[in-house]
A and B are shown apart, each in its own frame.
Chain A
Amino acid sequence: AQTVTQSQPEMSVQEAETVTLSCTYDTSESDYYLFWYKQPPSRQMILVIRQEAYKQQNATENRFSVNFQKAAKSFSLKISDSQLGDAAMYFCAYRSAVSTGNQFYFGTGTSLTVIP
């Protein structure tokens, strides 16, 4: 089974600064999708950004961008101009593009604190 590793249980960033959350994964597949989800205190999972493995270009969504290194199986999330509302748990997730189950494999999460 695929595994997703987030090696930073907790991170903090000063408001308006930039922070990078790390994620690595292990798979033998060549076609898959990677996601970053945000889970605020409300516990609602919110999609932050996604990346298709066949695309070399890194995905960006406003202040959020990823550094996707397919050979290294690394998928980090960069949050620029951090805001207080960015404080949440962040989960990295993997999903196969070929298997019929299409289940998500989640990392253990990184708790992000934004310091005013």
Chain B
Amino acid sequence: GAVVSQHPSWVICKSGTSVKIECRSLDFQATTMFWYRQFPKQSLMLMATSNEGSKATYEQGVEKDKFLINHASLTLSTLTVTSAHPEDSSFYICSARYSGSKAYNEQFFGPGTRLTVL
């Protein structure tokens, strides 16, 4: 089956620093990757849609200058949280959409990254 990895799985950083999270599709090409944020005991909230070779599309209310997304290849998207603050502490999940011909174009989820900002 299709596998999506995220690195790191957890990270602790000081307030004001930047953190980069990587999302990789290991055995398939993904033209589109999605970034979600999940607070404890809550649902996944879409932050942005990342398309290979083009600018990401951000959801309303998500600061694009704070959450920088780069999708430089068909297997890698990165999310950089710039000048992180404690309120950015959350669980970040990426998913990758298979760019093949499957009718349902299923998305495959990464295992998530827990970010704690002190």
Which residues does A use to contact B, with CB under 8 Å?
Answer: 33, 37, 42-45, 47, 50, 52, 91, 95, 101-104, 106-109, 111
Contact = CB atoms under 8 A, between A and B. Distances in A.
Indicate the member of B44, B91, B111 with the most A CB atoms within 10 Å.
B44
B73 interface: no
Contacts of A47: 106
A102 B97 contact: yes
Given A102-B32, A103-B49, A52 B103 contact: yes
B112 A104 contact: no
Give the interface size class of chain B. 20 to 34
Interface of B: 32, 34, 38, 41-44, 46, 49, 57, 91, 93, 95, 97, 103-107, 109, 111-112, 114
10 contacts: A44-B112, A45-B95, A47-B106, A50-B106, A104-B46, A104-B95, A107-B43, A108-B43, A109-B41, A111-B41
